[in-house]
Amino acid sequence: MAACDQAHNREGQMMVRSALFGAAALALTVTAAEGGTIVIGNGNSSCGSFIEQRRTYSDAGIAQWVNGYLTAFNSSAPEDDFNILAGADPNGLRAWFDQYCGAHPLDTIFAASNALINDLLTRRGIPFRSRP
């Protein structure tokens, strides 16, 4: 009976530890950025970690986060068919991101993505602040 109680107790402790670990992991991936925006996931990663991941070709998670963020930006535009990346060259975009993150390794991917949006809108003559 004592062995059964010990096993049940260990199982309970493991469940508590797992729950605490999960909560800690979530806390690490959800933070408030400048302006109070809640950033979830890889947007909280640093540009420095992105550059390091690019060297080992393990940057797919960050690239997917950026694609999702740009899609969300498009969906918030007042025009139904707005595309922030219209006319942009994919290799040029990668080079832009590499250059920005190389120059700003402590910035977050969220900040870099906003800088990219600002640059693309500025090239079109659209001020970033006036966009939704």
Q: Do 24 and 83 share a domain, yes or no?
A: no
Overall number of domains in the chain: 2
Q: Do 91 and 106 share a domain, yes or no?
A: yes
- 16-to-13, 20, 75, 85, 122 alpha-carbon distances in Å: 5, 6, 40, 45, 50
Q: Do 83 and 24 share a domain, yes or no?
A: no
pLDDT at residue 101, as a whole number: 96
Q: Do 22 and 56 share a domain, yes or no?
A: no
pLDDT digits (tens, 9 = 90+) for 83-117: 999 888 889 999 999 999 999 999 999 999 999 99
pTM metric for this prediction = 0.70
Give the range of the structural domain holding residue 26, as residue numbers without chain letter.
1-30
Q: Do 19 and 47 share a domain, yes or no?
A: no
For the CA atoms of 123, 110, 70, 67, the dihedral, rounded to the nearest 10 degrees, stands at: 120
Which residue(s) pair with 131 in the sheet?
A: none
- Helix (H) / strand (E) containing 118: helix 109-123
